[in-house]
Amino acid sequence: MLTIDDVDAVVFDILGTLVDHDGGLRAAITGLTGGAGDPDDLLARWHRHVAGEHARVVSGERPYATADVLDREAAEAVVAHAGGPAPTEDALVAAAHVMRGLHAWPDTVALLDALAARVAVIGLSNADRTTLLRMNAHAGLRWHAALSTETVASYKPDPAVYRLAIAHAGRPPERVLMVAAHAWDLRGAAAAGLRTAYLDRPGADPPAPGDRFDHRAGSAAELLALLGVTPERDQAGTRAV
């Protein structure tokens, strides 16, 4: 059983894992379309566009473009499909920057604090550097380091992204744990030699039957328990997570 004593660094995916990505996108889409169109369909279209462009960048079919560029494209595609009133330029810019104002899940900060007291904690995100900086500040995320895939001009699951995290941790990959709510992300991490833990979140990409991750946790508290981490009691005498 993998415990915190077996790792020297924990690398976290951020979008969806530590912050409510879908919630932020839904709000942005509603603002753009004036409520026109099916919100679930439009959200799925946004994700499909961004994921498709990530794949094109990774394959070399498209030169690297930052996350806010891809989100601007997704916003325009969603508006065109919804058929509602045309948004203002300011609304499109705001939608392109939606990730900068995402909210953390209620247990995120305590989870990071509990692990950071034991090991190095690193964020690894497809968000560009500026977006990552502002998102961290807005959501109250605290790291020993926060890495953007912009550094390697690519996106997950490009192996270069996970090598970036390994190099920054300065430890062998088997001593680095990747935590994510997306099974596809963890498959990429595992292929690079990292240990893996799936953390279930609303809208997550769950493991397939054949996935063999080190841990599968239904909550932050369960993940800490599986790793053998006991959070400090807060001033009210209740567990932080």
Q: For the chain, which residues make up each domain, given as ranges?
A: 4-20+102-227, 21-101
CATH of domain 21-101: 1.10.150
Residue 237 clears pLDDT 90, i.e. is over it: no
CATH of domain 4-20+102-227: 3.40.50.1000
% of the chain at pLDDT higher than 90:
83
CA 179 to each of CA 72, 134, 138: distance values in angstroms, whole numbers, following the listed order: 28, 22, 21
Residue 241 clears pLDDT 50, i.e. is over it: no
Q: Where are the beta strands (DSSP E) in 117-189?
A: 120-125, 145-148, 176-180
* 237 compared with 111, residue with greater pLDDT: 111
Chain centre to alpha carbon of residue 44: 17
State the CB neighbour count (10 A cutoff) for residue 7.
25
Residue 234 clears pLDDT 50, i.e. is over it: no
Q: Which of 22-36, 148-162, 196-210 has the lowest mean pLDDT?
A: 22-36
Find the mean pLDDT for residues 11-20: 98
The per-residue pLDDT for range 32-84, each reduced to its tens digit, is 888 788 889 999 999 999 999 999 999 999 999 999 999 999 999 999 888 86
Q: Where are the beta strands (DSSP E) in the chain?
A: 9-13, 120-125, 145-148, 176-180, 195-199, 215-217
What are the φ/ψ torsions at residue 195 (nearest 5 degrees)?
A: -75, 160
The per-residue pLDDT for range 135-185, each reduced to its tens digit, is 999 999 989 999 999 999 999 999 999 999 999 999 999 999 999 999 999
**Cα 105–Cα 130–Cα 9 angle in degrees, nearest 5:** 55
* Cα distance between residue 214 and residue 216, in whole Å: 7
